[in-house]
Amino acid sequence: MTTVIVIASALVFFGLLMASIALHELGHLLPAKLFGVKATQYFVGFGRTLWSGRWGETEFGVKLLPFGGYVRLIGMYPPARDAGPDAVETAGPVTRLASMAREAEYENITPADHGRLFYEKPTWQKIIVMAGGPAMNFLLAFLIFLGVNLAFGSYQPTLTVSTVSQCVVPAARAGQTCTASDPASPASLAGVRPGDRIVSFNGVPVTSWNKLSDLIRANTSHAATVVVERSGQRVTLKTVDTITTGVPDRLDPSRTVEAGFFGVSPQQQLVHPGVVGTAQQMWTLTEQSTVALVGFPVKVWHVAADVVTGKPRNINGPISIVGASQVAGEIATLPGLTLGDRVATWFLMLGSVNLFVALLNCVPLLPLDGGHIAGAVYEGLKRAGARVLRRPDPGHVDTARMLPVAYVVGAFLLVSGLVLVVADIVSPLQLR
């Protein structure tokens, strides 16, 4: 029965991920239709077509490989400005590649389509069309996080101490119990007790757990005097030295950094943040996701190396759509969680995926949406500069010449996706 629940939960979560992809592409299609851009295809998935139907001039459908989607907008590349009929034959490989892509594009363009081609549209319309996909994912992420906060709430750390570490465990043995050789934690030496509410650290009043954590980390191995509220009384505890040790990085938990350690854990309080609180949460998650995105190539390499060498997966490492669905299935059977906790965790995962997809598509490289946005912005700036300087219109920016970059980025994303899918099948994340 447990296996059935895991599989069913994974499939439902996978369906929600595909719905997010479909909405991302809808974010492109709707403004394209609004601005009169000809859109001939709207598909979820790649490869062989499983089902399709036509609505007006646009074919809608689902393809075999459910790892993305696309909207085909006609006229993405402007006409070439060749010097003559032999220009392609005598040109370099980049120009020839751009010419081949342009020829394939213009096979489906008729004289009646002029005025409806993507490259002909004003810069602001191009930006809105290409930004529509990431904007849809940002909106989905915000609405999902807000819905979870309002319906279930979220746990946030308080300044009341839940547990006190009895020793300092080295980073290499993180999560293990104390041994006789491990030094006592500064908090235990200072006399902190569970239930104490921390009021100040080295004379600095603290109003949140994050503030306290920042002060402790920055203190490294220096003296620390902590004031707590205990049984209604303020008590100044014994001054001790915090210890510099390896702790998880705030923005990248998979990376260990040297920082001060005190040895207390907070009690968690269930709160219901509104719009402002949700926006603050999203900003923190955006910072963390941006750091993860920057380190994505290295992290994929580490995943591949761990699979080859048989090491267990890093729980903070990247996963594929398959892996995310597997984790969702596992969450459905984890002991100690209420139904509300399971559903909330599910949707928090879905919101996080949408946020990451939005940020990934903002990278200013083709074939990502950010690459097309960057091309439109560059074209707009060139034309605006020409108007200011009273020079001739420089014309459209030939984004087809960036196809080599698009192929390299596309190949990297394809290989990364395959590596993560294989890793999630061969060596899935273990939550327990």
- The set of catalytic residues is 25
In whole angstroms, how far apart are CA 367 and each of 70, 371, 372, 409? 11, 6, 7, 7
Q: Which helix (H) or strand (E) holds 228?
A: strand 226-230
Rounded CA-CA distance 95/98 in Å is 5
For residue 197, give every residue at least 6 positions away whose Cβ sits within 8 Å of its Cβ, in sequence order, or none.
Answer: 158, 159, 160, 161, 228, 229, 230
SS3 204: strand
The amino acid present at 190, given as its one-letter code, is: A
CB 39 within 8 A of CB 74: yes
In whole angstroms, how far apart are CA 94 and each of 100, 119, 406? 10, 20, 12
C-alpha atoms less than 13 angstroms from C-alpha of 221 in its C-beta half-sphere: 6
List, in sequence order, every beta strand (DSSP E) within 32-153.
39-55, 58-73
356 CB burial (10 A radius; 0-12, 13-18, 19+): buried
101 CB burial (10 A radius; 0-12, 13-18, 19+): middle
For residue 237, give every residue at least 6 positions away whose Cβ sits within 8 Å of its Cβ, in sequence order, or none.
Answer: 190, 191, 192, 225, 226, 227, 228
Rounded CA-CA distance 185/363 in Å is 43
Rounded CA-CA distance 368/24 in Å is 13
Rounded CA-CA distance 165/181 in Å is 15
